[in-house]
Structure 1
Amino acid sequence: MLVIRLSAMGDVAMAVPVLRALTQQHPELKVTVLTRGFFIPFFRDLDRVEVFSADVKGEHKGVFGLYKLGKALNEKQFYVVADLHNVLRSKILKNFITCKRFISIDKGRKEKRLLTSKKLNKQLKTTHQRYADVFGALGYKIDLSKPSFPKKIDLNPELKKFIKDPLKKSVGIAPFAAHEGKMYPLNLMELVIEKLSKDHNIILFGGGKYESEILNGFQNSFDNTTNLAGKLSLDEELDVISNLDVMLSMDSGNAHIAAMLGVKVVTIWGVTHPFAGFAPFNQPKEYALLADGAKYPLIPTSVYGNKYPGDYKEAAGSILPKTVVEKIVSVL
C-alpha cells in the first residue's frame, strides 16, 4: 500500500497512530508513506512501514516532476493507494501511479463550512477517523479505540542535560502556532511558565530566530526552564518529547507530535475549535481549554485559524493563566 500525506507537520503526525493501528491489525500489509523528507523520523517506530521522500520544491516540482515521482513509485508495484491529502498535487500524481484502487480522503469541507458559518454546532468526524475511513474503503477496516504507543526513549547524556531536575515532572510548552488567532498571548504564557517552573521542569519548543529569542527570554527568567528551539534534530526532539509528563500546546503541530508518542496533551484553543476534528489523538475532551464562547460567539471563525475578526486575535486570552496551570497540575 502507498499512503500519501505530504504536509503539513500536524497532519502528517496525525497519520502516525492511525498507521500504527493499520499495520498492527493488518499484519499482511507492507506500507510505504509518501511524505516530505523532514518528516521521516515520525515513522521510525512503525513496523513494516518505509518512507519515500518527495522533493516537491525540487526534483518533483510541477507536473513533470510528479511524472518522475510516479514513475519511481511504480517500481514498487503498489496494490492500492490511500491518499490522505487530497490536494491538486496528489490528484495529478494519481494519473501517473499504476494500482488497483486509489481512494482519497473525504475532508468534510461542506460540514466544516457549515461549522464556521454557525449553521452547525456539533463535533465533526476527527481527522484520525477520516484517515481510518480511507483504509476502510480500501478493504482494511481499523479500530482506533484501543491504541498503542512506542516506549519512551532512554535519553543519552547530552539530551538528559535539557531536563534540569530528574526528580521533577517535565512539562513541555509549545506556545506558538501558524496564526496569531490560535495563540495564547505571550504575556499570559509567561505567567503560566513562571508558576509551573517553581515545581516542574519546563521544556520550551519552537523554531526560527523570532521564536527562539522569545523562548530564550523565558529560559533566562525562570528556574528549571530550558529552550530547545534550534538546538536539536527532529529525531532528538522526539526523544525528549517522549519523556515529557505532559505537553502544553496550541492547536498546532506539537500537540499532534506529542499525542502520536502517547504523551498527555493539554491544548489551548483560540479562534479554532475541537469540533472541526483536529484535536490531538486519544486525549480526553477536558484536556482542551477553550476561549470564552459567550464573549467570542463566532468561534470557530475558520477551520485553520487564518480568518477571524480583528478583536478575536487574542480570544485565547480569555482563558485565565490560573486555569491553564490548574489543568496542567491536575493532569500531572
Structure 2
Amino acid sequence: MGDVAMTVPVLQTLVKQHPYLRITVLSRAFFRPVFDGIPGVSFYGADIRGKHKGIPGLYRLYRELKGLGIDAVADLHNVLRSKILRLFFLAGGFRVVQIDKGRGEKKALTRERNKVFVPLKTTHRRYADVFEKLGYGIDMSRPVFSEKRELTGELRQLLGAEELTGRKTIGIAPFAAFRGKMYPPDLMEEVIRKLDEKGKYTLLLFGGGKEEKKALDALQSRYAHVVNVAGKLSFEQELALISNLDVMVAMDSGNAHLAAIYGVRTITLWGVTHPYAGFYPFGQDMDDALLPDREKYPLIPTSVYGNKFPGGYEDVMRTISPDEVVEKILKGI
C-alpha cells in the first residue's frame, strides 16, 4: 500500500505543472479511492486474480489499455507483471520508461560489511524521474497535497459526538508488515495510556487483519478516549478519517504514507529500516522520525522492508521510549 500511496503526491504535482496531461493509473481496484479527486487522473482496475491473471490475462489487459488511446507508459512498479506488460507495449510501438529502484545502492546501505550509510534518492523522486524521462519534468519542491475529505454522519456517529467537541484527534497505526519495524505492543500501550489520561485527545486506532482488530478492540476497552476503527469502515471511509487527523503516529508502513498525502503531520517510528532507504513519508519534517540507537545497533538499516535482521536486533525499537514518543506527539499539536 505504501508504494501506491507514494505515487499520489507525484501525480498531484505532475498534473498541476502539466495541466494538459491525462493520466490513467493502473492498479488493483482496492486502491481506487486513493486517487479520487485528482484532476486529470482516471483509474483502471486490474483483475489479477480473474480475467487479467497470467500471461494471457496480461495480454488481454494490454489490449484493453491500448484501447484507451494511451501515448506512453510509466512503469512505477517494475515487478514481474509490469515487466510483461511493458514487453507488450514495447512490441506495440509505445514509449515506455520504468523506475530505477536503485537496488545496488540499497544493497550497499543494508549490508553488514562495508555498509555505505548515506541517504539515497527518495522513492518520490524516483517516480518523478520516470515522468521526466518521458519529457514531463516535475519540480517536487512545489508539492500538491490531496484535499481533506468530508466526515459523513456515519463516521461522526462512530466517533461519538462528544469526541468531536474541542478535542484534537490522533491516529495510531501500531502495526507493520514485519516485526523488525513494529514498536513493541507493551510500549505502544504505554504511549496510549499516557495520551488517554490527559483527557484532551481522541485516539483512533488503525489496523488490518483479524488478530490486529482483536488486539485493538482490547485497547479500546481499557481506555476512555480510544476508538478502534479497524474492520469497521471501508477503505474510502478510513481515508476520510485519516485526512481529518491532527497527527498520525505510524511505523514505516502504508498508513504513514496515506496520512502524508493529505499533508497530515506524521510521526514515524523506525526499527531495522531507515529513512535513508528513500521511503520517508512525503513532505514530512525529518525531526518527526523517531529512530533506534545506532550506536547500540550499528548495522541498522539491516533491510529495506524490515524482513531481515541479525540475531540480537529483535528489540531495537525498545531504545525508543514511550515518553519520547508522547513528547514528540504533543509537540505542536
Instruction: Using structure 1 for the length normalisation, give the TM-score.
Output: 0.95
CA deviations 1:205-238 (Å, max 9, x no partner) are 0011100011011111111100000000011001
SS of residue paired to 1:306: coil
User: Pairwise mapping of residues 129-140 of structure 1 onto structure 2 (< 5 A)?
Assistant: 129-140=125-136
Decide whether aligned partners of structure 1 residues 262 and 37 sit closer, same or farther in structure 2, where only a CA change above 3 A counts: same
CA deviations 1:13-40 (Å, max 9, x no partner) are 0000100001110011000000000000
Aligned to 1:237: 238
Shift in Å, 1:45: 2.0
Aligned to 1:312: 313
SS of residue paired to 2:73: strand
- Name the CA distance, whole Å, in 2 between partners of 1:302 and 1:11: 16
- Name the CA distance, whole Å, in 2 between partners of 1:123 and 1:214: 35
Aligned to 1:295: 296
Aligned to 2:39: 47
Aligned to 2:97: 103
Aligned to 1:63: 55
Q: Provide the aligned length of Structure 1 versus Structure 2.
A: 324
- The 8 Å contact of residues 14 and 281 in structure 1, kept in 2 or not, is answered as yes
Shift in Å, 1:181: 0.7
Aligned to 2:179: 180
Aligned to 2:70: 78
- The 8 Å contact of residues 127 and 277 in structure 1, kept in 2 or not, is answered as yes
**Structure 1 unmatched runs, 5+:** 1-8
- Name the CA distance, whole Å, in 2 between partners of 1:266 and 1:195: 17
- Name the CA distance, whole Å, in 1 between partners of 2:7 and 2:288: 21
CA deviations 1:103-155 (Å, max 9, x no partner) are 00000000000000152111100000000000000000001112222332231
- Name the CA distance, whole Å, in 1 between partners of 2:94 and 2:66: 12
Amino acid at match of 1:283: Q
Aligned to 2:195: 196
Aligned to 1:4: none
- Name the CA distance, whole Å, in 2 between partners of 1:136 and 1:241: 31
Aligned to 1:168: 167
- Name the CA distance, whole Å, in 2 between partners of 1:24 and 1:195: 42
Aligned to 1:114: 108
SS of residue paired to 1:130: helix
Of residues 267-276 and 148-157 in structure 1, the stretch that sits farther from structure 2 once superposed is 148-157
Aligned to 1:127: 123
User: Pairwise mapping of residues 13-28 of structure 1 onto structure 2 (< 5 A)?
Assistant: 13-28=5-20
Amino acid at match of 1:114: A
Give identity over the alignment, percent.
Answer: 55
Decide whether aligned partners of structure 1 residues 71 and 156 sit closer, same or farther in structure 2, where only a CA change above 3 A counts: same
- Name the CA distance, whole Å, in 1 between partners of 2:93 and 2:68: 10
- Name the CA distance, whole Å, in 1 between partners of 2:28 and 2:214: 28
Aligned to 1:286: 287
- Name the CA distance, whole Å, in 2 between partners of 1:293 and 1:300: 9
SS of residue paired to 1:248: strand
Amino acid at match of 2:145: F
**Structure 2 unmatched runs, 5+:** none
Amino acid at match of 2:78: N
Aligned to 1:5: none
**Alignment partner of 2:143 out of 147, 153, 165:** 147
Instruction: Using structure 2 for the length normalisation, give the TM-score.
Output: 0.95
Of residues 182-191 and 151-160 in structure 1, the stretch that sits farther from structure 2 once superposed is 151-160
- The 8 Å contact of residues 21 and 147 in structure 1, kept in 2 or not, is answered as yes
SS of residue paired to 1:86: coil
Amino acid at match of 2:229: L
Runs of 4+ in 1 over 6 A off after TM superposition: none
